[in-house]
Amino acid sequence: MAFGTMSGHDMDRIIHDLISFGYVGPDQGDKSDMVVSDVFMGADNLPSSIELVDVSFFDEDRPPVKAWKMKKSGVYDLINFEANLSLPRKGYQCDWPPLIGKIS
C-alpha cells in the first residue's frame, strides 16, 4: 500500500486508522505492514521485505527511475502515485531486477 505525497496530519490519521483495523504500524521493523519513507532516504532503513530497484525503460527517451518493490513479489505494473499516467508494464515498456528483457 502506498499513499504518495500526503501532509503529515493526513498520513498520521490514516496510519492510526489502519492500526485500529489490525495492521502493524511502521515502527515495528520487519513485522510492519507499512513503511514511512521516501526515495531520498535510500534503502538502508527499509524492512527486509522491501527493496528499492532501478527501473529502465525500453523507450530510450525516458530516463530510468527508482521504485519500491516487495521482495519475492510477482509485481509487473509500475505505478506513479503522484500522476495519473498509463501504467508501464515490466517486459513491455520497462524492466527491473530480476531482469526479464523485452517481451515481443
Give residue 75's pLDDT. 83
3 alpha carbon, distance to own chain's centre? 10
Verify that 4 and 30 share a domain, yes or no.
yes
**Complete DSSP assignment for 15-72:** HHHHHHTTPPPTTSGGG-S-----TTT-STTS-TTEEEEEEEESSTTSPPEEEEEETT
- How many domains, the chain? 2
Verify that 16 and 41 share a domain, yes or no.
no
Verify that 60 and 20 share a domain, yes or no.
no
Verify that 41 and 11 share a domain, yes or no.
no
Verify that 52 and 84 share a domain, yes or no.
yes
Verify that 91 and 45 share a domain, yes or no.
yes
Task: State which amino acid sits at residue 20.
Answer: S
Verify that 60 and 95 share a domain, yes or no.
yes
Per-residue pLDDT band for 4 (boundaries 50, 70, 90) equals low
Domain of 84?
37-104
Per-residue pLDDT band for 20 (boundaries 50, 70, 90) equals very high
Verify that 46 and 87 share a domain, yes or no.
yes
Question: pLDDT: is 4 or 100 the higher one?
Answer: 100
Nearest to 43 by CA among 33, 32, 54: 54
What are the tens digits of pLDDT across the range 24-66? 888 887 888 887 766 555 555 567 888 888 999 999 898 998 8
Place of cell 527508482: 66
Averaged pLDDT score across all residues of the chain: 81
